[in-house]
A = this chain, B = another copy of it.
């Protein structure tokens, strides 16, 4: 499982002392080759953390030897000193791993924005993490990147003789483009950087980019895909892309399932849209409607709030042709009252909303969560 499911990788997760709690907070993932091809996708927030600015440059080279990830601090909005710290982190990893240079080391950070990382703990931690590297270290690495996550997230898929594995963290600040997440995927397939990039972008577009826990876009989102080529196998691109998508979809679903304070996972499917963009826009508008998210929390099939959310979009539709189902009961037909709302059973964690725009044949699925008092508590009681 995790980032060591594929051959050619080792990983470690340790407690470096970055978190005051003493919980694991530093992960290291190393690609032992023979290949070092890599691809990355980063937050579209214009305020980007130092490690994002750094790793974007590293990925331009198309090769990554190792990834250093820390929880316990986002290193965002930390100015030139923050960027120097990320650079020093990469330099330290390159030195410890010997024979590599900092330009091959990606860095990812997560935690509170606006505070400098304790480099006196992080740099010695890299030495200890390197000493702890193991072919079975994927699980520990996945644990070390958790912040408010209650569980660590890993997934694996693959084909004949090759594997794609990955780990993810993220629980709040989850919104398209991307979510507050750090994700590292590894594969032993022999795929070049262009093939990795193509597969990764296609996968994130319909997975991580279509979950929305709380409408908030992070400064630190990073999704990396590293290939070792250790299997000696080069799969068909379509087959490889599908495996990457499977792992991304699995991890994205796990992120939604562990979102801060959530009691419901909401699957919003927009159907019969004129374009896929319309379907996504409508899905996101529904996903971000606080009133609806509260209603779902209260197990109230309040379809009026779905319609008011649809009404704020530019998508093609006629108000009197809209249909909405909640858990397969079409409570709204032709923009008005449909089947009896008392037929809707909302006792289970997963809630399905179907919005029929009656304007075409395109569709999209967005995953979201309800809005709960626990979410408010978790994000008001202390800085995160």
Interface of A is mostly: loop
Min CB distance A33 to B, Å, is 36
Specify which of B113, B288, B304, B380 is in contact with A308 (CB 8 Å cutoff).
Answer: B113
Q: Are A45 and B311 in contact (CB under 8 A)?
A: yes
Quick one: which of A348-384 are within 8 Å of B by CB?
A: 371-373, 375-383
Report A70 CB to chain B, min CB distance, Å: 16
**How long is the Cα–Cα vector from A304 to B289 in the complex, in angstroms?**
23
The winner among A115, A290, A295 for most chain B CB atoms within 10 A is: A290
Is residue A239 within 8 Å, beta carbon to beta carbon, of the partner chain?
no
Mark contacts of A294-324 with chain B using CB atoms, 8 A cut-off: 1 yes-contact digit, 0 otherwise: 1101101011110111111100010110100
Q: Does A46 interact with chain B (Cβ within 8 Å)?
A: yes
Residue contact B47 to A311, C-beta cutoff 8 Å: yes
Q: Which of A3-11, A74-82, A87-95 contacts B (4 or more CB under 8 A)?
A: A74-82
Residue in B303, B308, B371, B378 whose beta carbon sits within 8 Å of that of A219 in the complex? B308
Residues of A within 8 A of B (CB-CB), count: 66
Residue A334 lies at the interface, judged by CB distance under 8 Å to chain B: yes
14 contacts between A and B (CB under 8 A): A46-B313, A46-B319, A48-B319, A76-B307, A76-B308, A79-B335, A81-B336, A113-B302, A113-B305, A113-B308, A214-B290, A219-B304, A295-B380, A372-B380
Apart from A113-B303, A215-B288, 6 more pairs, CB < 8 Å: A47-B319, A79-B336, A113-B307, A294-B378, A300-B382, A375-B376
A residues touching B (Cβ–Cβ < 8 Å)?
45-48, 74, 76-79, 81-82, 112-116, 172-173, 177, 214-219, 288-291, 294-295, 297-298, 300, 302-305, 307-313, 317, 319-320, 322, 332, 334-337, 371-373, 375-383
